[in-house]
Every structure is written in structure tokens, then in C-alpha cells.
């Protein structure tokens, strides 16, 4: 139990210190473009493609859990996918909450935006990482998605709040977008992180398992860094 706690602390430290994606001070958009309205609109549009694909990412981990006969892991991932697809939001997927909120509250239509080069690379890299043969590697990669979700959405909500003031003259209102961010930050994502950690860590028994888990975890963060740097370049050129 103690070893597990230390391992998670080590991963969390690496997430913030060794990578820029969810580091508030070092994420390239947060650092350079957090006041640039045009860039932020661009980034929110591209960002939405990530939640649009999240269930297809989780599918890899679910299939691997099934193959390994890790019942509790599989059930947790199915529960997680269920939430993404609307089990706690009136059947409305999380992607649709975001897109509908942005449309109704900010007047921006991001439902049909064209996927950029960097976003396309990100989605493809994620799928290739999650196609790894090693189950611990895949779980580490999936855990990186869940573990980074809260600090990542904390950045995104700041940008959306900023757009809100600029576009509507008011702070974020008590509607769909607020629900989307409040629930992700306070309930859904902490639940995904905890659920995956508790079920997967029961299966980790050797140093080798742990190394594979960490390798998958780091690979996802590396890919996210690549994406954010790419988005930064694209947004600055727009």
C-alpha cells in the first residue's frame, strides 16, 4: 500500500515536472496565448476532438482487461465509458455537452471543425500507444489520460471563462458549460482516476509491471506535449 502511494506520487511529480502539457506555467498555450481570443477559440475547437475520441481510447484498455480476465478493471472502464456516453448526464455525451455549451453560450460552432495536423497526429499516436501488447503499458497509458484530466481541464476552463467574459461580457453562467467543467473537475475525472488506480494496482505485482506501467504513462504525456506544442504553432499562425 505504501509502495503504491509512493509510485503514484512519483508519477504525479513526473507529470508536472518532466512534461509541459498540464503544467499551468509551462503549457505553451497557457504561457503565451491565454489572452489571445482568436487563438483560444482555435484551441477550444481542436481540444474538443479529444473528448470526441475518448471512448475509442478507453476501448483499447477495456479489450486488454477482458483479454487478461481482469474483471474489476474491465468493469471500471465500462463504467467510465458509460459516463463519457452520458450515464450521469441525461444520455448526453460529454463531447456533446461541450459542443452544445460552446454553441449555445458562446455562439461558436465547433461541431464541424476540421481536424488539424497536430490533433490528427495526437489521435493517431494515442491509438498506436494503446495498441501496445503489454497490459501494464496500456493501463499506464490509460491512467495518464485519467490522471492528467483534472489539471488539463483546469487549464481549459480558464480559457473558456476568459472567452466567456470577452464574448458575452459576463462570467461563466450556471448552464451546460459550468456543469461540464464542475462535474469533470469535481466528480467524474477524480472518480476515473481513483477507479482505475484501485483496480489496476491490484494487478501490479512486480517491478517489471510497474516499469511497463510507467513507460505507458510517460509515453502518453510525451504525446500530449507534442500536441500542445503543435497547437501552439498552429494557433500562432492562424
Q: Which residues bind Fe ion (CB under 5 A)?
A: 84, 94, 146, 149, 189, 192
Mark residue 107 as left, alpha or beta (left: phi above 0; alpha: psi -120 to 50; beta: remaining): left
The residue (of 68 and 185) whose beta carbon lies closer to Fe ion is 185
Least distance between Fe ion and beta carbon 94 (Å): 3
Residue 230's φ and ψ, nearest 5 degrees, are -65, -45
The residue (of 35 and 179) whose beta carbon lies closer to Fe ion is 179
CA–CA separation, 138 and 144 (whole Å):
10
The residue (of 76 and 189) whose beta carbon lies closer to Fe ion is 189
The residue (of 16 and 55) whose beta carbon lies closer to Fe ion is 55
**In 48-107, which ranges are continuous DSSP H helix?**
49-68, 71-84, 94-106
Least distance between Fe ion and beta carbon 38 (Å): 26
Nearest Cα neighbor of 41 from 164, 179, 172, 175 is 164
Least distance between Fe ion and beta carbon 233 (Å): 27
Least distance between Fe ion and beta carbon 96 (Å): 11
Amino acid at each position: 500500500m505504501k509502495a503504491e502511494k509512493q509510485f503514484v506520487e512519483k508519477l504525479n511529480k513526473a507529470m508536472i515536472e518532466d512534461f509541459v502539457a498540464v503544467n499551468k506555467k509551462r503549457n505553451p498555450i497557457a504561457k503565451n496565448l491565454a489572452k489571445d481570443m482568436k487563438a483560444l477559440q482555435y484551441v477550444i475547437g481542436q481540444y474538443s476532438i479529444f473528448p470526441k475520441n475518448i471512448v475509442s481510447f478507453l476501448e483499447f484498455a477495456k479489450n486488454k482487461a477482458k483479454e487478461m480476465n481482469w474483471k474489476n478493471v474491465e468493469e471500471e472502464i465500462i463504467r467510465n465509458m458509460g459516463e463519457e456516453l452520458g450515464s450521469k448526464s441525461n444520455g448526453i455525451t460529454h463531447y456533446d455537452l461541450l459542443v452544445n455549451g460552446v454553441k449555445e453560450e458562446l455562439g461558436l460552432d465547433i461541431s464541424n471543425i476540421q481536424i488539424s495536423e497536430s490533433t490528427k497526429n495526437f489521435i493517431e499516436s494515442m491509438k498506436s500507444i494503446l495498441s501496445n501488447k503489454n497490459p501494464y503499458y496500456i493501463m499506464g497509458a490509460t491512467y495518464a489520460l485519467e490522471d492528467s484530466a483534472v489539471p488539463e481541464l483546469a487549464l481549459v476552463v480558464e480559457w473558456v471563462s476568459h472567452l466567456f467574459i470577452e464574448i458575452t461580457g459576463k462570467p461563466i453562467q450556471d448552464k451546460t458549460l459550468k456543469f461540464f467543467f464542475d462535474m469533470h473537475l469535481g466528480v467524474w475525472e477524480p472518480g476515473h482516476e481513483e477507479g482505475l488506480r484501485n483496480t489496476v494496482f491490484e494487478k501490479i505485482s512486480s517491478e517489471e509491471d510497474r516499469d511497463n506501467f510507467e513507460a505507458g504513462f510517460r509515453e502518453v504525456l510525451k504525446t500530449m506535449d507534442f500536441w500542445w506544442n503543435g497547437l501552439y504553432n498552429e494557433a500562432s499562425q492562424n
